[in-house]
Amino acid sequence: MYGPQIRLDPWSEDDLALLRRVNAPEMTTHIGGPETEEQVLSRHRRYLSGGTGQMFRVTLLPEEIPVGTIGYWERQWRDDVVYETGWSVLPEHQGLGIAAAAAVAVAERAAGTRAHEELHAFPSVDHPASNGVCRRAGFTLVGEVDFEYPPGRPIRCNDWRLSLVPAASAAVG
């Protein structure tokens, strides 16, 4: 296999420390800055509950060390409901292809639910690393969009889309 070896592990009670680590100022620059401890605990509870998707700890192999987070969840987008994804990789593990490998793996998990036809990612237009992850993971750039994230904070994002539906084979006739 090309690239880093990773495994996606379902979010667990033991992952709160990892969530606190990815809440650091250098990790949250493009998404409004760090959350309060109360917000982190609330997020952890949401991740544990699953809701309309699934969160994962990204584990680097063969070292078996947690290096980040990724997940997918439902989002109303345009006239449809799609899956959205987002990730964080700890600074000491960035630039190694881990986020792209995790994005490919999470797309496979989302596709396996057969619930939605598309997976979208919405990185800030000013975040070249996350936009590069989308490109390397096979997403297609749709264009720029305006969001509020967190609520009340306007942000300009790129809309990246990945089809979760296998290409239909051509009919032979």
Answer whether 83's CB lies under 8 Å from 118's CB. yes
Q: Look up residue 99 and give its amino acid.
A: A
Quote the pLDDT of residue 170: 39
pLDDT higher for 148 or 150? Answer: 148
Residue 171 pLDDT = 43
What is the C-alpha separation between 157 and 160, in angstroms, rounded?
A: 9
Task: Give the pLDDT band (50/70/90) at residue 152.
Answer: confident
pLDDT at position 1 is 44
d(CA 74, CA 56): 15
Q: What is the pLDDT of residue 92?
A: 95
Amino acid 140 reads T
Mean pLDDT of the 42-48 span: 95
What pLDDT does residue 50 have? Answer: 81
Enter the DSSP assignment of 11.
Answer: -
Domains along the sequence of the chain with CATH: 6-163 (3.40.630.30)
126-140 pLDDT, tens per residue? Answer: 999 999 999 999 999
Q: Is the pLDDT of residue 150 over 80?
A: no
